[in-house]
Chains A and B, each alone.
Chain A
Amino acid sequence: MGVKVGVLAIQGDVREHRRMLEALGVEVAEVRLPQHLEGLAGLIVPGGESTTIGMLSREYGLEESIRARLEAGSLAVWGTCAGAIWLAKHIPQFPDQPRLGCLDITVQRNGYGRQVDSFEADLCIEGFDRPFPAFFIRAPRILGVGEGVEVLASFEGSPVLVRSGKIWASTFHPELTSDARIHKIFLEACGR
């Protein structure tokens, strides 16, 4: 009932997440500054360029405010692609890349190659009765997950959809499809 969900709108495919959430009947806010987090039960960090998103979130105080909300347990967060990189605790190639880093996973940026190697594939996701159409675009590869991180889907041996409590990450882009199943279960984690 009546949860409000934000999309981090520094840069990236904000519109696609917004469209998906609105189709599911939730109120959506675009988050560019810390005050935009007020009243939100959940936040989606979209696909885009992880360096840009990380840098500007830090500069404008969003990283700090989101961390505080997560520590208080009052916000659910889901990162897709670049968003998953932003949440990752370990990025061995770029250890100093600005990010939230609160999800215990190890990622390799562009882990499947450059754009010419980007691909689409059908995924089996835990709890879903039919495959999910997934788009991997210069996607990060999850090399490992820490204790307490649940793997909901894998592709070619690497996890692609994971969660740890209220923190979710996918290395693909459900928002580019017309299949709202993952958005729907994320909204449940937001308390809807």
Chain B
Amino acid sequence: MIAPLTRRLLRLVAVLGVVALAAFGLMQASPIDPVDAYLGPQVAQVSPEQRALIAERWGADQPATQQFLHWLGNMLRGELGWSRVYNAPVSEVIGTRFMASLPLLASAWLGATLIGFALGVIAGTREGGWVDRWICRYAYTLASTPTFWLAILGLLLFSVTLGWTPVCCAGPAGVTRDELSLATRLHHLLLPALTLSLLGVAQITLHTRARMLELMRSEVALHALAQGASRRDVAWRHGARHACLPALTLAFASLGELFGGSMLVEQVFSYPGLGRATVEAGLRSDVPLLLAIALFTALFVSVGNALADGLYRLVDPRLRQVHP
């Protein structure tokens, strides 16, 4: 049990190293000059000397390797730098934004996993039946739907036409976060979370269904049917048992998709979470914030991937046997 765990941790560190290197390299390669981006329209009013001074203070005149090592050292010490867009320490921006996104991500993840799994088992019970056909159609359509378009449709229908849900943001304008009541927060969270979870449902449904079909065609199912079991009995007693681990694995492995989806959904609903901060940082060339977010989400996603791999070892009795 220990050896695979160590190997997995080493792998995680290696992946984060490659991500850090790649992200930093890409930022370096960008034709957009961070100093120009920082100054914005005021660039015309700044003399070349002043400009060089800023560049020097940021260390932009040093060779790239040195800058990278310097930056990596800062990262490891927890000094993530200063966000120019939000005019606050990067660590603080990520902290507050992530806390705002967390309920959205968590509810969408949980909803997608549970609904997707149930639909997958139901569809897989009777392959080719009308329930299966409709669930499949639904899942295929959803899987091909652009996330942000789904969000736009939701906004049009529930917020603009019906007026059931608010049009934007995490709370009414002019009210600070601390003053919001739980009900108001949930009201603002409802539509974004629903949109985001609908997105994940399709993938988990189709994956669960594939596992179900595999089982329903196996000797185990044939044997159970020969004992007089109904298809529903086989599906829930044997199928769900076999499909739940793959479904959970997929749910952990698709945290990256979930985060990508949250960027789009937060953009459409103007929800002040980490996803929107990422977009802002990218559009306005806030390099320290962008790099820190890239690393943070890589950690988030890689841990999810590692968990997905590790789950099998913990849950399957056949694999438990190998490493007692």
Q: Are A and B physically bound partners? A: no
Which B residues are within 8 Å of any A CB, using their own CB? Answer: none
Which A residues are within 8 Å of any B CB, using their own CB? Answer: none
